[in-house]
Amino acid sequence: MSKPLKGKSVAFLATHGVEQIELTRPWEDLLEAGAHLHLVSLQSGEIDGYNHLDRADSFAVDITVDDAEAEHYDALVLPGGVANPDALRMNEKAVAFVRDFFAQDKPVAAICHAPWTVIEAGEVRDRTLTSYPSVKTDIVNAGGHWVDEAVHLDRGLITSRRPDDLDAFCGKIIEVLSGSEEF
HSE-up of residue 35 (Cα within 13 Å, Cβ side): 28
- Any idea which residues carry the catalytic annotation? 112-113
Measure the CA–CA gap between 47 and 105, rounded to whole angstroms: 28
Measure the CA–CA gap between 115 and 129, rounded to whole angstroms: 9
Measure the CA–CA gap between 176 and 171, rounded to whole angstroms: 9
Strand 18-19 with 46-51, pairing: parallel
Instruction: Please give the full DSSP string across 113-157, using - where no structure is assigned.
Output: TTHHHHHHTT--TT-EE---GGGHHHHHHTT-EE---SEEEETTE
